[in-house]
Chains A and B, each alone.
Chain A
């Protein structure tokens, strides 16, 4: 039986906006295909994991005030994380986790929370605490040459700059900053994005893209994933794309 090993970072701290649902969706789509999902979690106080031993690393979004504590802990694993990324382990990073993999996060008071500096984008909080990019969002990403519409929900005060290779073009919503043209960061085996929803719940193509990548890498093959019944997902996408973009 094939299996994928998933590392879920800080599930007790990065637990806002239902991001945990991404793990559930991954597990569901793996198990429906007879692939075992092994899900380990790591949080502050646990024994350090070896990131290179995993096929997929996932981290979600949390409250702004917890970014500092997380940054301190995450920095302890910097070299190991860097090695895992270079090895090709897939990283899916949402919102706060997206920000922490960049150079830094500059808070409202000008305080700097250091990032892992694995990528060279950086994030600055908007001065007015009440102003946030909040709402439904649709972007178009390129998954293995296929332009794919990705639907999610964004809720962030931080404005991310200096992204060299974005996850997608914004079709509806804000993106990396207020009114931005691009959203997120995507380079080889790393997708970092502001999209909650949870992200994978409404984007089965994206989920399968990640699953295929992980299986192909682990088992050195070019797998064709078995189709699943995505009736609800397709109905949902059709309804929402029509509502947000006026297209069917």
Chain B
């Protein structure tokens, strides 16, 4: 009875919030969770639940899976705004359920924070778990990545649902061994692309074999520690691949899987991995390949994740970077583009960013390709300016501005193509400032 009232009250509040033009974020979920932390039990969900987790790329992949399923005329419930902790998922369920807690949908697709998988799916039956990558985040730079992986590994020991894993991340692929009874482990991989390297180019995590502690050997690195690896001692890394992307062509934004060419709207190796995960997932639910192809050719995400804009006719690419890998991915795209360009880097150190900005020293600013000017901004505009200068980029071509609107104004003094990298709390203010500048 109690749960019925919790749902009734949150639903009334939701209506009030909607009238007030607010979304509510985690608020409804937090309210319900504080009232009864076992409320997840109460929901009656008959459809498959799909969850996506990773350090980077959760929102992109979650939304792409949802978009593919919707294109196939399925009813999807999803936390598309990226509220990915238990209260966020709860908010999504509360908004979509009936008063008796019934969820009417064909699929629930959730992005879930890496730390919350064991908590949320203790009480909700998970049908498919997609794991993309594990990188060092700015907040937990104290060897916490390993303890996070161990927690998920523990959860997976009793899990027999579909498990979609990135075979090219040694931190992820190891989770396929968590439960030897689970026959539903599916690995995806991407063939060596044009800018893959023999040596690691950016800071990475998976240096030692998780099973025998031997140093892992790589045939090539795609980006960071993602690549074709193998343990020379115990052979870890030699997994059977379920979906393998080949002929990756970032200039033309396409790749092949099973003789189908997928055209996408993004030009980064990092996104190819996300989309191969999406294709793997769609395949497990028998979504028509032609529909998947069609959906991926249309899919975009207008929220500052590799968002492409024209500002006063000047091409502008905005990307979020909340950790070194995110920033390195953006710089890869920049360096793979030969045209002349200018960069705006916005760095804040607010609570949600983490107060420690030393992670910028793990960004590879060496040999920037045809960058003629760099503007820095945010509460740590000078820190990032010093970082870039120290990598060898001429300080005469670096302009720091603490004030974001000054930074944007000065960025658009020239009509050279713009790349914009912004960290967590600076992304939306930067995006807004840039959009405002468009006449």
- A25-B387 Cα distance, complex, nearest whole Å: 9
Give how many A residues have a beta carbon under 8 Å from the other chain's beta carbons: 33
Specify which of B142, B207, B398 lies most central, judged by the most chain A CB atoms within 10 Å of its CB.
B142
Segment 284-300 of B: residues with Cβ below 8 Å from A: none
Chain A residue, CB-CB nearest to B386: A232
When each residue 185-215 of chain B gets 1 if its CB lies under 8 Å from chain A and 0 otherwise, what string results? Answer: 0000000000000000001000100000000
10 new A-B contacts, CB < 8 A, other than A135-B355, A239-B382, are: A17-B356, A21-B387, A24-B361, A24-B391, A62-B143, A153-B355, A198-B361, A229-B395, A232-B389, A233-B382
The answer to whether A202 touches B386, judged by C-beta atoms less than 8 angstroms apart, is yes
The 9 A-B residue pairs with the shortest CB-CB distance, nearest first, are A63-B143, A18-B361, A236-B382, A18-B358, A21-B361, A232-B385, A17-B358, A28-B390, A232-B386
* B207 cross-chain contacts in A, Cβ below 8 A: 12
* B355 cross-chain contacts in A, Cβ below 8 A: 134-136, 153
In the assembled complex, A246 has its CB within 8 A of some CB on chain B: no
The answer to whether A64 touches B361, judged by C-beta atoms less than 8 angstroms apart, is no
A sample of 7 cross-chain residue pairs with beta-carbon separation below 8 angstroms, ordered by A number, consists of A16-B141, A17-B356, A21-B387, A24-B391, A63-B142, A202-B383, A232-B386
Say how far A95's CB is from chain B's closest CB, in angstroms.
11
In the assembled complex, A231 has its CB within 8 A of some CB on chain B: yes
The answer to whether B391 touches A153, judged by C-beta atoms less than 8 angstroms apart, is no
- A135-B203 Cα distance, complex, nearest whole Å: 23
Segment 191-229 of A: residues with Cβ below 8 Å from B: 196-198, 201-202, 229
In the assembled complex, A172 has its CB within 8 A of some CB on chain B: no
Segment 49-88 of A: residues with Cβ below 8 Å from B: 62-66
- A12-B204 Cα distance, complex, nearest whole Å: 10
In the assembled complex, A20 has its CB within 8 A of some CB on chain B: yes
In the assembled complex, B402 has its CB within 8 A of some CB on chain A: yes
Chain B residue, CB-CB nearest to A62: B143
In the assembled complex, B359 has its CB within 8 A of some CB on chain A: yes
Say how far A192's CB is from chain B's closest CB, in angstroms.
18
Given known A20-B361, A201-B386, contact A65–B402 (CB-CB < 8 A): no
In the assembled complex, A235 has its CB within 8 A of some CB on chain B: yes
* A24 cross-chain contacts in B, Cβ below 8 A: 361, 390-391
In the assembled complex, A148 has its CB within 8 A of some CB on chain B: no
- A12-B203 Cα distance, complex, nearest whole Å: 10
In the assembled complex, B101 has its CB within 8 A of some CB on chain A: no
Say how far B425's CB is from chain A's closest CB, in angstroms.
16
The answer to whether A18 touches B362, judged by C-beta atoms less than 8 angstroms apart, is yes
- A63-B146 Cα distance, complex, nearest whole Å: 11
- A202-B357 Cα distance, complex, nearest whole Å: 12
Q: Which of B358, B362, B402 interacts with A239 by CB under 8 Å? A: B402
- A66-B398 Cα distance, complex, nearest whole Å: 38
In the assembled complex, A155 has its CB within 8 A of some CB on chain B: yes
Say how far A171's CB is from chain B's closest CB, in angstroms.
17
- A196-B382 Cα distance, complex, nearest whole Å: 17
Say how far B385's CB is from chain A's closest CB, in angstroms.
5
The answer to whether A17 touches B141, judged by C-beta atoms less than 8 angstroms apart, is yes
- A15-B142 Cα distance, complex, nearest whole Å: 10
Segment 367-382 of B: residues with Cβ below 8 Å from A: 382
* A196 cross-chain contacts in B, Cβ below 8 A: 356, 358
Specify which of A15, A229, A232 lies most central, judged by the most chain B CB atoms within 10 Å of its CB.
A232
Given known A153-B355, A232-B395, A239-B402, contact A21–B383 (CB-CB < 8 A): no
Q: How large is the interface on B (under 10, 10 to 19, 20 to 34, 35 or more residues)?
A: 20 to 34
Chain A residue, CB-CB nearest to B145: A63
* A28 cross-chain contacts in B, Cβ below 8 A: 389-390, 392
The answer to whether A18 touches B360, judged by C-beta atoms less than 8 angstroms apart, is yes
In the assembled complex, B88 has its CB within 8 A of some CB on chain A: no
- A17-B324 Cα distance, complex, nearest whole Å: 11
Given known A63-B143, A64-B142, contact A198–B358 (CB-CB < 8 A): yes
- A16-B358 Cα distance, complex, nearest whole Å: 9
The answer to whether B143 touches A65, judged by C-beta atoms less than 8 angstroms apart, is yes
* A64 cross-chain contacts in B, Cβ below 8 A: 142-143
Say how far A4's CB is from chain B's closest CB, in angstroms.
17
Segment 14-52 of A: residues with Cβ below 8 Å from B: 15-21, 24-25, 28
- A17-B138 Cα distance, complex, nearest whole Å: 9
In the assembled complex, B400 has its CB within 8 A of some CB on chain A: yes
- A205-B142 Cα distance, complex, nearest whole Å: 29
Say how far A99's CB is from chain B's closest CB, in angstroms.
14
Given known A64-B142, A65-B143, A201-B386, contact A232–B400 (CB-CB < 8 A): yes
* A233 cross-chain contacts in B, Cβ below 8 A: 382, 386
* B142 cross-chain contacts in A, Cβ below 8 A: 16, 63-64, 155
When each residue 109-133 of chain A gets 1 if its CB lies under 8 Å from chain B and 0 otherwise, what string results? Answer: 0000000000000000000000000
* B386 cross-chain contacts in A, Cβ below 8 A: 201-202, 232-233, 236
Chain B residue, CB-CB nearest to A236: B382
The answer to whether B359 touches A18, judged by C-beta atoms less than 8 angstroms apart, is yes
- A236-B383 Cα distance, complex, nearest whole Å: 7
Chain A residue, CB-CB nearest to B349: A136
* A198 cross-chain contacts in B, Cβ below 8 A: 358, 361
Say how far B36's CB is from chain A's closest CB, in angstroms.
26
* B392 cross-chain contacts in A, Cβ below 8 A: 28
- A93-B361 Cα distance, complex, nearest whole Å: 18
Say how far A131's CB is from chain B's closest CB, in angstroms.
13
Specify which of A12, A24, A155, A236 lies most central, judged by the most chain B CB atoms within 10 Å of its CB.
A236
Given known A18-B361, A21-B387, A232-B382, contact A153–B398 (CB-CB < 8 A): no
* A17 cross-chain contacts in B, Cβ below 8 A: 141, 356, 358
- A58-B42 Cα distance, complex, nearest whole Å: 57
* B387 cross-chain contacts in A, Cβ below 8 A: 21, 201
Chain A residue, CB-CB nearest to B389: A232
When each residue 203-240 of chain B gets 1 if its CB lies under 8 Å from chain A and 0 otherwise, what string results? Answer: 10001000000000000000000000000000000000
- A64-B143 Cα distance, complex, nearest whole Å: 8
* A15 cross-chain contacts in B, Cβ below 8 A: 203
The answer to whether B382 touches A21, judged by C-beta atoms less than 8 angstroms apart, is no
